[in-house]
Structure 1
Amino acid sequence: MTVARKRAILTADSVPMLPAHVRLIFNEKRDSWVVLAPEKILWPDDISVLILQNCDGARSIGEIARALSKEFSAPFSEILGDILEFLQDWSDRLLIRLAEQSGGKP
């Protein structure tokens, strides 16, 4: 019997992190960032890389959105919505985990 996985619903208070099986590394040969996961290689765009680099298991999505909103002089609500949508998709694909799902430690 298999147990169904409960879908994590991300909010501005969620604290995202990359799970141990997912790595964000810079590929010098291609001069770009790459995400390595079991049986997956992803080439995120520049904005996705900025979001992922901030998923450290210490900052909430709201804090990440606030920082990027200031950096890009963009409306907080727009940035927050875009980040939530992006990270929810990655969470659903098991490429992002919430810090509390890992015992609260990155």
Structure 2
Amino acid sequence: MSLIKREQAPLLRRGFRLQWEPRQDCHVLLYPEGMIKLNASAGQILSLVDGQRSVAAIIAQLTSSFPGVPGIDEDVLAFLEVAHAQFWIE
């Protein structure tokens, strides 16, 4: 059972910032103690996490951006659970 609910509007935890890092050629998540290099999917998902969009809206936007890709909703929910467990989002 998912701990992340589709009606929730997640946001980055205080002190964390997402940015594109040209030298790394990827999105990174910066925080006071360091940096997390993200893969393309994680960067896409976190770029939509703003505290305003619900999880359902994030899934809908990614589904429309990547039509025909099966399992986007499960992948987004699974990633957001990991991000929450790692204290990247609240």
TM-score, L = length of structure 2: 0.86
Match of 2:81 in 1: 88
Distance 2:88 2:23 in 1: 24
Aligned CA distance change for structure 1 residues 71 and 37 (closer, same or farther; 3 Å) = same
Indicate which of 73, 79, 82 corresponds to 2:72. Answer: 79
Which consecutive segments of 4 or more residues in structure 1 shift more than 6 A?
A: none
Report the Cα offset of residue 75 of structure 1.
5.6
Q: Percent identity?
A: 27
Kept after mapping to 2: 8 A contact 1:35/1:44: yes
Report the Cα offset of residue 37 of structure 1.
2.0
Match of 2:5 in 1: 11
Q: How many residues align?
A: 88
1:21 has 2:15 as partner: yes
Kept after mapping to 1: 8 A contact 2:26/2:43: no
Indicate which of 52, 55, 59 corresponds to 1:65. Answer: 59
Gaps of 5+ in 2: none
Report the Cα offset of residue 70 of structure 1.
1.0
Match of 2:49 in 1: 55
Report the Cα offset of residue 29 of structure 1.
2.7
Distance 1:45 1:91 in 2: 17
Root-mean-square deviation over aligned CA pairs:
1.6
Gaps of 5+ in 1: 1-8, 98-106
